[in-house]
């Protein structure tokens, strides 16, 4: 059985200087998070005397977060006594370290949070583009996901992005290939191999992915099904925005869009979507129309299985 949170806190990178009152703390460039041990209520100098259940520890900890640019903590839920903590920047730094080790420079890094900052998504674009006639420069992407209140396990995903050339600016991650990190200690060494594997298959297959998707025209039935699913997932407002993107991609209204044009229309909208849950659902929708070569599917599946 896993040891209680208080016995593992220091090893998970938390400050335990106030552990005597059930408080464990972590600070990085993004925020400060505090875990507080839950206990039953207690009244000192109670004229009725103390009850044997007063001040008893409950096997849960409250989560309080203060973003780096604000003052004041917000309660963000609770976790069990066996929760495994991983700091956001500890996870992100492991990616930076792995990329440095394999000599892959970072082109850009963008971090997004849920409103209370209990969930994070960090996108690292690698300075290793592949040029495509249909899409311009396509960059490999490594995305980290993390959560502080037990609603999002730490994970690493792989994807692609453009910087605003012929296909417009967008970032996208595959659902296949996600590596869940449950027992993370020092990951910089072990991450070198999967990141290298993805970069290699990206270089080998991304042009084929784009060309095959660009030459595959959606049938009217497939197109209408995709639109129905987009509206079901994202609502009418999001559906209208994605259709607006699609019209800018399709040169003729007399034909159905290609799989690539549909993919880009969804991905461009998804990039700007602030809700992290909705972003992922729309990415899954975009992925469903993309024509992914078998070689890339095999590598992504292996990465996910070996995580």
Question: For the chain, how big is the Rg over CA atoms in Å?
Answer: 23
Helix H or strand E segment including 196: helix 192-215
The pLDDT value given to residue 60: 95
The pLDDT value given to residue 251: 60
The pLDDT value given to residue 304: 84
The Cα–Cα gap between 133 and 135 comes to 6
The pLDDT value given to residue 176: 87
The pLDDT value given to residue 183: 39
pLDDT per residue as tens, the chain (307 positions): 578 999 999 999 999 999 999 999 999 999 999 999 999 888 887 888 788 888 888 999 999 999 998 999 999 999 999 999 999 999 999 999 999 999 999 999 999 999 999 999 999 999 989 988 878 899 999 999 999 999 988 999 999 998 766 667 889 999 988 888 753 444 555 788 899 999 999 999 999 999 999 999 988 888 888 888 887 877 777 777 777 777 766 665 557 889 998 898 888 888 888 889 889 988 998 999 999 999 999 999 998 887 5
The pLDDT value given to residue 186: 44
The pLDDT value given to residue 185: 43
| pTM (predicted TM-score) | 0.88
Nearest to 99 by CA among 58, 57, 141: 141
Q: Cα 240 to chain center, whole Å?
A: 25
Instruction: Give the orientation angle of helix 294-306 with respect to helix 192-215, to 10 degrees.
Output: 150
């Amino acid at each position: 059985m896993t040891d209680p949170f208080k016995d593992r806190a220091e090893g998970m990178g938390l400050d335990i200087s106030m552990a005597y009152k059930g408080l464990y703390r972590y600070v990085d460039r993004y925020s400060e998070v505090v875990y507080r041990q839950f206990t039953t209520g207690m009244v000192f100098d109670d004229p009725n005397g103390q009850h044997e259940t007063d001040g008893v520890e409950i096997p849960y900890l409250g989560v309080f977060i203060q973003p780096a640019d604000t003052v004041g903590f917000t309660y963000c839920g609770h976790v069990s006594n066996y929760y495994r903590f991983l700091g956001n920047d500890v996870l992100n730094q492991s990616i930076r370290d792995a990329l440095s080790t394999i000599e892959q420079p970072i082109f850009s890094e963008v971090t997004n949070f849920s409103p209370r900052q209990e969930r994070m998504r960090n996108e690292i674009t690698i300075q290793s583009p592949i040029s495509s006639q249909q899409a311009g420069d396509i960059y490999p992407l490594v995305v980290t996901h993390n959560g502080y209140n037990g609603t999002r396990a730490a994970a690493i995903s792989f994807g692609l992005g453009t910087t605003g050339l012929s296909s417009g600016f967008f970032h996208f991650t595959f659902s296949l290939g996600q590596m869940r990190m449950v027992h993370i200690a020092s990951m910089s060494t072990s991450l070198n191999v999967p990141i290298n594997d993805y970069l290699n298959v990206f270089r080998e297959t991304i042009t084929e992915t784009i060309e095959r998707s660009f030459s595959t025209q959606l049938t009217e039935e497939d197109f209408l099904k995709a639109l129905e699913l987009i509206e079901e997932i994202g609502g009418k407002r999001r559906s209208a925005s994605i259709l607006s993107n699609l019209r800018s991609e399709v040169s003729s209204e007399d034909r159905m869009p290609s799989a690539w044009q549909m993919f880009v229309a969804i991905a461009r909208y998804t990039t700007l979507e602030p809700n992290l849950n909705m972003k992922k659902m729309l990415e899954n929708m975009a992925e469903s129309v993309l024509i992914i070569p078998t070689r890339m599917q095999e590598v992504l599946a292996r990465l996910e299985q070996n995580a």
